[in-house]
């Protein structure tokens, strides 16, 4: 996996913090994003497990499902996507929907209560066809494979520490959007192993209960340390920080403050941010820095990609005659 660059951002009156951004939106596969690293970790884990078919679960708007369906196609790996009805905020097709469609990935629809049974059924079907299937989330209840997704950013963290060594200083804060928690748990693992000063802050972008989000991240960190046979530091849970004050109406809901943030960061930094994940997190970061009167610090924002969602936004909202 080639690394991605860290760029200094131009800012407007942000308490004189130095803001940097890690451009994981430019990972060179399937329109980029954090899911490229995570999908890679799943494919490697599938192979190590002696399996040859992948079972995904997600909505047809999902960034992870886009990248995984693409990666499976590229590697001629059988792929079945379990698609929950209720996950879909609305039924409109998005860029990710189209791209998943191009790969011809087999899709099985199910209600949200029926996921476990559907995982079982798809697993049995694939076995009957001679495959050894791998469900990315572990068991039928989606448990047991948290360490694999965390691995992606535990490893990517080395790119951050390499950058810090080059610069001769360390970041004070690292911000990321916190959705499934996989990226944040990976960053925490990397931070624990590096023993550096950075405080990692996840900006919650959905209305997922904070305690549940905390638990999932904790499981990710435990899973990674167990998987790699390393000693898990005591009090590691102190490193899990979730900021829940910036989710606006919950997953996919956003107002004019997010719209303005998207336009501003495009105009000022030539950067695509999407309203569901990255712009909400970027805006949340700016709000937090202001509210907490943080200044004179070096701050890294992890751009987790989702560029297809930026273009969904642009197609939908670009016509409004708004300026930066």
**What are the residues binding a copy of itself (CB under 8 A)?**
2, 5, 7, 10, 23, 26, 28-32, 67, 70-71, 73-74, 93, 95, 97-99, 101-104, 263, 266-270, 272, 307-308, 311, 314-315, 318-319, 321-324
What does residue 216 show for φ and ψ, rounded to 5 degrees? -65, -40
- The dihedral over CA atoms of 117, 121, 126, 130, expressed in degrees to the nearest 10, equals 120
Question: CB 52 → a copy of itself: shortest distance, Å?
Answer: 19
- Rounded to an integer, what distance in angstroms lies between the CA atom of residue 121 and that of residue 104? 20
Question: CB 37 → a copy of itself: shortest distance, Å?
Answer: 13
In the block, tokens 């748990």 appear at: 185
Question: CB 138 → a copy of itself: shortest distance, Å?
Answer: 26
Question: CB 24 → a copy of itself: shortest distance, Å?
Answer: 11
- Rounded to an integer, what distance in angstroms lies between the CA atom of residue 88 and that of residue 256? 23
Question: CB 265 → a copy of itself: shortest distance, Å?
Answer: 11
Tell me whether residue 2 or residue 128 sits nearer to a copy of itself (CB atom).
2
Question: CB 77 → a copy of itself: shortest distance, Å?
Answer: 13
Question: CB 261 → a copy of itself: shortest distance, Å?
Answer: 12
Contact in structure between 196 and 164 (CB atoms under 8 Å): yes
Going by their DSSP bridges, the two strands 6-8 and 18-23 should be labelled as: antiparallel
Question: CA of 5: how far to CAs of 2, 163, 167, 285, in Å?
Answer: 10, 9, 13, 20
State in Å, rounded, how far the first CA of the chain is from the last one: 36
Contact in structure between 34 and 303 (CB atoms under 8 Å): no
Tell me whether residue 116 or residue 162 sits nearer to a copy of itself (CB atom).
162
Helix, strand or coil for residue 229? Answer: coil
CA triple 70-281-247, angle to 5 deg: 105
Question: CA of 163: how far to CAs of 5, 159, 168, 276, 295, in Å?
Answer: 9, 6, 9, 28, 22
């Amino acid at each position: 996996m080639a690394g991605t660059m860290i760029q200094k951002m131009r800012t407007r009156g942000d308490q004189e913090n130095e803001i940097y951004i890690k451009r994981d939106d430019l990972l060179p596969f399937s329109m980029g994003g954090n899911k490229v690293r995570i999908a890679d970790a799943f494919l490697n884990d599938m192979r190590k497990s002696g399996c040859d078919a992948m079972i995904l679960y997600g909505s047809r708007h999902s960034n992870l499902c886009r990248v995984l369906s693409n990666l499976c196609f590229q590697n001629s790996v059988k792929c079945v996507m379990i698609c929950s009805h209720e996950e879909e905020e609305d039924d409109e097709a998005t860029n990710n929907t189209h791209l998943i469609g191009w790969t011809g990935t087999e899709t099985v629809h199910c209600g949200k209560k029926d996921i476990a049974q559907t995982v079982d059924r798809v697993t049995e079907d694939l076995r009957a066809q001679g495959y050894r299937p791998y469900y990315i989330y572990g068991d039928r209840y989606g448990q047991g494979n948290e360490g694999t997704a965390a691995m992606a950013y535990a490893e990517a963290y080395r790119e951050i520490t390499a950058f810090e060594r080059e610069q001769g200083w360390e970041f004070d804060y690292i911000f990321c959007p916190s959705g499934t928690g996989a990226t944040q748990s990976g960053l925490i693992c990397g931070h624990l192993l590096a023993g550096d000063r950075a405080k990692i802050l996840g900006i919650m972008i959905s209305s997922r209960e904070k305690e549940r989000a905390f638990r999932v991240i904790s499981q990710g960190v435990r899973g990674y340390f167990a998987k790699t046979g390393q000693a898990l530091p005591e009090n590691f849970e102190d490193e899990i920080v979730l900021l829940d004050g910036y989710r606006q109406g919950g997953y996919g809901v956003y107002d004019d403050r997010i719209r303005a943030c998207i336009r501003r960061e495009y105009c000022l930094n030539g950067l695509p941010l999407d309203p569901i994940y990255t712009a909400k997190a970027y805006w949340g970061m700016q709000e937090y820095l202001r509210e907490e009167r943080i200044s004179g610090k070096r701050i890294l924002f992890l751009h987790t990609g989702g560029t297809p969602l930026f273009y969904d936004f642009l197609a939908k909202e670009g016509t409004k005659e708004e300026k930066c």
